[in-house]
Structure formats: structure tokens, C-alpha cells
Amino acid sequence: MAARRLPRFDHRACVSCAACAEDCPVSCIAMETAPGRGPHAKPRLSPASACVGCGACGRACPVSAVAMCDTDGEA
């Protein structure tokens, strides 16, 4: 299967502003709190299969906490 580009979120750098989720044209980024990651919501793909790899999330991030990465084609 062909490689796909998906966002990878750096939760340490993330400031929980939700700009990535707000700019996603297919609404596949959810902001969620996770045990052990502090009180602030962090982004995750939900569902990853909906991501079109456009990179809007990375361009929207004010602290460069989103990197577009090649995958093996599996979401």
C-alpha cells in the first residue's frame, strides 16, 4: 500500500490551543485529556483513517508541535 502522510503530535510542546483541530478540514482531530499527561487536552487523530494528509494542522500550530510524517499506508 502507498505511504500516507499523517500528523504526529508532540504533546510536550503542545500548548492545548486546539488550533490544529479547528483548522482540520475533515474534523479528524479530537482534543482529549489523558491520564498521566496533565490536565490540559491534547490532540489525537480520531479516526486516523479520515485524515487526508493536507498538513493544515501543522500550519495552524503556533508552537510547531505537529509534524507530518510518512506512514506505511496503515491508519
Residue 18 lies in a domain: yes
Residue 75 lies in a domain: no
5 pairs with which residues across the strands? 70
Q: Report, as ranges of residue numbers, the positions in the chain whose pLDDT lies below 70.
A: 1-2, 36-38, 73-75
Residue 15 lies in a domain: yes
Rounded Cα–Cα distance for residues 65 and 27 (Å):
18
Position 75 scores a pLDDT of 46
Position 71 scores a pLDDT of 84
The CATH number that applies at residue 36 is 3.30.70.20
Domain count, the chain: 1
pLDDT in tens, 25-44: 999 999 998 776 667 899 99
Rounded Cα–Cα distance for residues 52 and 26 (Å):
8
Rounded Cα–Cα distance for residues 4 and 68 (Å):
10
**Cβ(75)–Cβ(51) below 8 Å:** yes
- Average pLDDT of every residue of the chain: 89
Model confidence, pTM? 0.84
Position 14 scores a pLDDT of 94
Domain range for 13 is 5-70
Residue 46 lies in a domain: yes
Q: Which residue in the block uniquely carries the three cell numbers 493536507?
A: 54
Backbone angles phi, psi at 19, to 5 degrees: -60, -35
